[in-house]
């Protein structure tokens, strides 16, 4: 399967019609969640065919859709913070993301991230410059499985480029072929703990809402007692991957899985590919087949900085309902 598809003029027109019809009726993200699901089956046939292969074959780690026009002046300045106001209008770019997400599964959000916004902004924040957060910048964001700590981590994450003037790369890595089958077996051992990153855990500390307190208690439990997990899972021939070296604890240092794990981390470090998400580029990442990160860059904080939008997709929304905290059905 090819990893890159560029929208034709007729694809772009059909998509624009779908977006505009959603935009006229979506007053809230709850509306967007529903209306995007109605629109997804109407995406142009070539895109639905590509997505069918992606889902059925289940071996493609990432896929790029390019050719979506974004007007640099119409989107306005890059926000200075990931915080959103409840009154923010839903934008054309957010509808595009939500429709594509709905064609691949069910889009959803964590209540512990950006207040449960369905579509999130990835923008550099001064306060997070040197952090391992999406809002970081001057320090490279170490590659990771998205939300590796969570059994509710996304099956896909989708990133859409709003602007990327310095062409700061996202990075992509996969399970290297140099990890031999007998070494893979060792990585199926539950000798690792994934700690929630501070994006999920700390900012809810002083929350007063019931939803926030429940979410915080759950996160604290995961921080204090992270379950024992494996790096690989699924089939031994084409295993799925779960990795987040910046937030991983090793249970038994002497276990033979550890040297293989260390080599795997080093090899992904060395082989990760740079991938510049430019304006209008969409990158669909299979969160069980690819890890992703971001190179360091120096923001200007003048409204012209790098700006991506992101959405999470699950293929097992029913299971997630057990974790639902919120009256808005897409928030767990």
Told to check if 141 binds ligand AKG by CB under 6 A, we report yes
Q: Do β-strands 156-163 and 307-314 pair in parallel, antiparallel, or remain unpaired?
A: antiparallel
* Minimum CB distance to ligand AKG, residue 170 (Å): 3
In the complex with ligand AKG, which residue's Cβ is closer, 135 or 215? 135
In the complex with ligand AKG, which residue's Cβ is closer, 29 or 305? 305
Q: Contact at 8 Å (CB) between 292 and 143?
A: yes
Choose the contact partner of 34 out of Fe ion, ligand AKG, none; CB within 5 to 8 A by kind.
none
Q: Contact at 8 Å (CB) between 161 and 278?
A: yes
Told to check if 146 binds Fe ion by CB under 5 A, we report yes
How far apart, in whole angstroms, are the C-alpha atoms of residue 268 and residue 114?
A: 29
Element (H, E) at 15: helix 9-25
In the complex with ligand AKG, which residue's Cβ is closer, 288 or 292? 292
Told to check if 292 binds ligand AKG by CB under 6 A, we report yes
How far, rounded to the nearest angstrom, does the alpha carbon of residue 329 sit from its chain's CA centroid?
A: 19
Told to check if 146 binds ligand AKG by CB under 6 A, we report yes
* Minimum CB distance to ligand AKG, residue 310 (Å): 6
Told to check if 134 binds ligand AKG by CB under 6 A, we report yes
* Minimum CB distance to Fe ion, residue 20 (Å): 30
How far apart, in whole angstroms, are the C-alpha atoms of residue 304 and residue 316?
A: 37
Choose the contact partner of 294 out of ligand AKG, Fe ion, none; CB within 5 to 8 A by kind.
ligand AKG
Element (H, E) at 294: strand 290-294
How far apart, in whole angstroms, are the C-alpha atoms of residue 157 and residue 153?
A: 10
In the complex with Fe ion, which residue's Cβ is closer, 29 or 146? 146
In the complex with ligand AKG, which residue's Cβ is closer, 158 or 179? 158
Residue written as token pair 């300045």: 77
Told to check if 170 binds ligand AKG by CB under 6 A, we report yes
Interface mask toward ligand AKG for 196-215; x: CB under 6 A: --------------------
Cα Rg of the chain (Å, integer): 19
How far apart, in whole angstroms, are the C-alpha atoms of residue 66 and residue 332?
A: 30
Residues that bind ligand AKG (CB under 6 A): 122, 134, 141, 146, 170, 292, 294, 308, 310
């Amino acid at each position: 399967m090819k990893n890159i598809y560029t929208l034709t003029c007729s694809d772009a027109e059909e998509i624009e019609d779908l977006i505009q019809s959603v935009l006229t009726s979506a007053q809230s993200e709850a509306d967007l969640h529903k209306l995007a699901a109605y629109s997804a089956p109407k995406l142009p046939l070539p895109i639905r065919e590509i997505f069918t292969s992606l889902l059925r074959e289940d071996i493609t780690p990432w896929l790029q859709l390019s050719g979506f026009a974004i007007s640099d002046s119409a989107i306005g300045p890059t926000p200075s913070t990931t915080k959103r106001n409840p009154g923010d209008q839903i934008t054309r770019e957010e509808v595009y993301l939500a429709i594509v997400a709905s064609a691949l599964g069910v889009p959803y959000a964590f209540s512990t991230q950006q207040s449960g916004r369905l579509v999130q902004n990835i923008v550099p924040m001064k306060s997070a410059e040197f952090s391992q957060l999406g809002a970081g910048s001057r320090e490279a964001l170490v590659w990771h499985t998205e939300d590796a700590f969570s059994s509710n981590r996304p099956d896909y994450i989708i990133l859409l480029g709003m602007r990327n003037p310095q062409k700061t790369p996202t990075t992509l890595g996969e399970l290297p072929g140099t990890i031999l089958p007998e070494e893979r077996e060792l990585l199926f051992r539950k000798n690792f703990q994934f700690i929630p990153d501070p994006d999920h855990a700390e900012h809810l500390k002083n929350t007063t809402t019931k939803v926030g307190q429940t979410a915080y208690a759950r996160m604290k439990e995961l921080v204090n007692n992270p379950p024992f997990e494996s790096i690989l899972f699924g089939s031994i021939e084409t295993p799925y991957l779960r990795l987040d070296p910046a937030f991983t604890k090793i249970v038994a240092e002497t276990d033979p899985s550890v040297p293989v794990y260390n080599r795997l981390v080093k090899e992904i470090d060395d082989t990760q590919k740079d991938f510049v998400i430019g304006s209008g580029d969409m990158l669909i990442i299979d969160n069980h087949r690819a890890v992703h990160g971001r190179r360091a860059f120096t923001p200007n904080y003048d409204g012209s900085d790098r700006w991506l939008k992101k959405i999470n997709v699950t293929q097992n929304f029913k299971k997630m309902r057990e974790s639902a905290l919120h009256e808005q059905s897409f928030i767990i």
